Every structure is written in structure tokens, then in C-alpha cells.
Amino acid sequence: MDELNDELATAAWRKATKSASNDGNCIEVAPLSGGRVGIRDTEAPEKAPFVVSTGVWDAFIDGAKKGEFDF
């Protein structure tokens, strides 16, 4: 677990370029070792991020593009 925490602390976090029009309410993602992706709240980077497999991340992105999460 310490290795993951070290990796998360130095990860290359990024957010969508379109998030600027959303008052900063967005998430940041970072590629991690072992085929994982870190996900955190931009407004609370001190909180523990979610860590998912790239397969889970890819499925989420695919669903978002298809409108599966639209209200």
C-alpha cells in the first residue's frame, strides 16, 4: 500500500480541458503502474483517490460517450 501511496503522490494528474467552464467541478485522472488509473476530486486532492483498472476506466469513458450517465 505504501508503494501505491508514493505513486499517487507523484502521479501526473490531469483534468479535461473543458472543465474550466464547469466552475472547477471536475475530476482528475492519472495513469498508474500495473494497468491502473487514479481518479480524484479536483476540489479535494487531499482525499484518497479511487483506483480502478484501465478496463473499468475504459468502460466508464465508453458509457459517458454513449450518454449512459446523462440525466
| pLDDT score at 22 | 60
Give domain status of residue 23, yes or no. Answer: yes
Grid cell, residue 5, equals: 501511496
What is the residue-wise DSSP string for 4-40? HHHHHHT---B--GGGGGGTT--EEEEEETTTEEEEE
Domain of 6, in residue numbers: 2-65
Give domain status of residue 31, yes or no. Answer: yes
Give domain status of residue 24, yes or no. Answer: yes
**How many C-beta neighbours within 10 Å does residue 40 have?**
21
pLDDT of 47 > 90? The answer is: yes
C-alpha distances out from residue 64 to 17, 50, 53, 55, Å: 16, 18, 17, 14
Give domain status of residue 56, yes or no. Answer: yes
Give domain status of residue 71, yes or no. Answer: no
Smallest Cα–Cα separation from 60: which of 34, 27, 33?
27
| pLDDT score at 23 | 66
Our count of domains for the chain comes to: 1
- What average pLDDT does this structure show over 50-61? 96
